[in-house]
Amino acid sequence: MAESAQRQADHDMAPADLRHETAASHAHDPPGDAALHRIVVVGGGAGGLELVTRLGDRLGRRSRAAVTLVECGRTHLWKPLLHGVAAGSLNPGEYEVDYLAQAHWHGFRYRFGEMIGLDRAKREVHLAATFDQEGRQITPPRSLGYDTLVIAIGSTTNDFGTPGVAEHAVPLETPGQAERFNRRLVNACLRAQTQEGPVRPGQLHIAIVGAGATGTELAAELYHTTREVVAYGLDRIDPQRDIRIVLIEAGKRILPGLPERISEATHRLLDEIGVEVRAGAMVTEVTADGVKLADGSFIPSELVVWAAGVKAPDVLRELDGLETNRINQPVVEQTLQTTRDSAVFALGDCAACPRPGQSTPVPPRAQAAHQQAGHMVRQIERRLRGKALQPYTYRDFGSLVSLGKWSTVGNLMGFLLGRSIFVEGLFARIMYQSLRMMHERALNGTVRAMLGVLARALAHRTGPPVKLH
């Protein structure tokens, strides 16, 4: 049978057939699962956590399926908040979601561990053992059986093989990395305040490599928070003289993925506030003291952030024969099923999902992960009822870039007008925050999401606006 015909036949399979295929691998499951369709979602990020929460509410609680989340973290923090954590303007504890509690409240199981392999014939996901900080084992190596598998493990930083990045630059992929950067930043300020001599060249300089949305937002936010930290009594530091933030971009302009008008408006604003922008500058090496460029120049810098591109995690490169592209993403059909196995789906940053009529796949954005999670909920319900799956179509609602306290700029797609509309200021800021609210509502419901906003607003009135330790 041709591959596509086989896939169509798989789409149309009845739930009983789906269970029958995999009866041999039920040995690893809790006793109550034997008769249930087992849905395993690997990765509880922007897409995966929304997916298991909704599947748990709709299917898990009603014993219509056994829904399991495999996740290598203990808590979830929505990734677009990471630059705020790195800059110290956001306390991660106020936004984190505890996986165990979320699973308990929403009818799914949480299995702590990292996916390291897959056996498609047996329909099992392999998890590595986990260890605590003293080296004691927490969970053993194990395998989990599935009838439907969804891979949603996001993306990691792509250093394109640039020497020195792994040793000297900080990526912004996890809350741990963002907090580590913030600690280094506050330590750098404390060191400069108490050292014998004056601040050395490059000492309080920050180089951000990559002027996509992440790098650009971080530059603006850092400009503000470094001044806030210094204002709390670090009087030997003169921010105007000593602190320098350089945003480096290999492309001709910053925000290369966004319309030119947004890029220009953002560049102007960064110029006005004093962030130095180096566009068309290719980094060839990162050293302990700074960043070397292809034109031979050197940017001295005590702190270097690498935000210059993403790829899917290496575990996906060879995942039991699934088709992948050059950045490790499993290639999926528009139904989000992987091309070589209709029981394995992928979504979010880690998936190469086609866009009809476009040469590039769906971009790695929180709004894409959110849309795909919503689509997947409906498709899994269809799959359980033995109905054919429907294709996912990406809807680009626009892009917004937050420039800290100064402004928010971006474009919104005006579907009625059929073109994108430039927005900035308060309206843009409200729209920017609405994306996060959509994620919080998907996880917590409207009432708890609103209570969260209120609680954070109160907390901010009683503490310093930046992290000082």
Ligand X SMILES: Cc1cc2nc3c(=O)[nH]c(=O)nc-3n(C[C@H](O)[C@H](O)[C@H](O)COP(=O)(O)OP(=O)(O)OC[C@H]3O[C@@H](n4cnc5c(N)ncnc54)[C@H](O)[C@@H]3O)c2cc1C
Residue among 237 and 322 whose Cβ is closer to ligand X: 322
Per-residue exposure over 271-307, b if at least 16 CB sit within 10 Å of its own CB, e if not: eebebebbbebebeebeebbbbbeeeeebbbbbbbbb
Alpha-carbon distances, residue 98 vs 49, 181, 288 (angstroms) = 11, 23, 36
Per-residue exposure over 20-36, b if at least 16 CB sit within 10 Å of its own CB, e if not: eebeebbeebeeebeeb
Contact with ligand X (CB under 6 A) among 80, 164, 290, 410: 80
Task: Decide: 366 and 377 in contact? Cβ < 8 Å.
Answer: no
* Burial (0-12, 13-18, 19+ Cβ within 10 Å), 356: exposed
Q: Which of 339, 340, 380, 320 is nearest to 150 (CA)?
A: 380
Q: How far is CA 184 from the centre of its chain?
A: 22
Give the tokens for residue 126.
């392999």
- Rounded to the nearest whole angstrom, what is the least distance from the CB of residue 127 to ligand X in the complex? 8
Residue among 112 and 287 whose Cβ is closer to ligand X: 112
Where do we find the tokens 């954590």?
85
Going edge to edge, which strands form the sheet with 124-127?
A: 115-119, 124-127, 142-145
Q: Judged by CB under 6 A, which stretch of 39-47, 87-95, 255-263, 324-332 contacts ligand X? A: 39-47
42 binds ligand X (CB under 6 A): yes
Residue among 54 and 292 whose Cβ is closer to ligand X: 54
Contact with ligand X (CB under 6 A) among 15, 73, 354, 374: 73
84 binds ligand X (CB under 6 A): no
Task: Give 412's DSSP letter.
Answer: E
Residue among 45 and 330 whose Cβ is closer to ligand X: 45
Q: Binding marks (x or -) toward ligand X, 134..153, rule CB under 6 A?
A: ------------------xx
d(CA 247, CA 237): 22
Contact with ligand X (CB under 6 A) among 250, 315, 352, 466: 315
384 binds ligand X (CB under 6 A): no
Contact with ligand X (CB under 6 A) among 369, 403, 423, 442: 369
SS3 assignment, position 282: coil
- Rounded to the nearest whole angstrom, what is the least distance from the CB of residue 101 to ligand X in the complex? 16
* In the complex, residue closest to ligand X by CB: 45
Task: Decide: 452 and 460 in contact? Cβ < 8 Å.
Answer: no
Contact with ligand X (CB under 6 A) among 367, 408, 420, 444: 367
Q: Binding marks (x or -) toward ligand X, 265..304, rule CB under 6 A?
A: ----------------------------------------
172 binds ligand X (CB under 6 A): yes
- Rounded to the nearest whole angstrom, what is the least distance from the CB of residue 201 to ligand X in the complex? 28
255 binds ligand X (CB under 6 A): no
Residue among 192 and 218 whose Cβ is closer to ligand X: 218
Alpha helices in 274-342 (DSSP H): none
Alpha helices in 195-281 (DSSP H): 213-231, 239-242, 260-273
348 binds ligand X (CB under 6 A): yes
What residues are paired with 414 via a beta bridge? 419
- Rounded to the nearest whole angstrom, what is the least distance from the CB of residue 181 to ligand X in the complex? 11
Q: Judged by CB under 6 A, which stretch of 55-63, 89-97, 317-325, 343-351 contacts ligand X? A: 343-351
- Rounded to the nearest whole angstrom, what is the least distance from the CB of residue 289 to ligand X in the complex? 25
Contact with ligand X (CB under 6 A) among 48, 56, 92, 164: 48
Q: Which of 59, 10, 12, 13 is nearest to 36 (CA)?
A: 59
- Please count the residues of this chain forming the interface with ligand X, following the rule CB under 6 A: 35
365 binds ligand X (CB under 6 A): yes
HEC letters along 24-54: HHHHHCCHHHCCCCEEEEECCCCCHHHHHHH
Q: Judged by CB under 6 A, which stretch of 79-87, 190-198, 240-248, 410-418 contacts ligand X? A: 79-87
305 binds ligand X (CB under 6 A): no
- Rounded to the nearest whole angstrom, what is the least distance from the CB of residue 116 to ligand X in the complex? 7
Interacting residue ranges for ligand X, rule: CB under 6 A: 42-48, 70-73, 76, 79-80, 82-83, 114-115, 152-154, 172-173, 213-214, 313, 315, 348-350, 364-367, 369
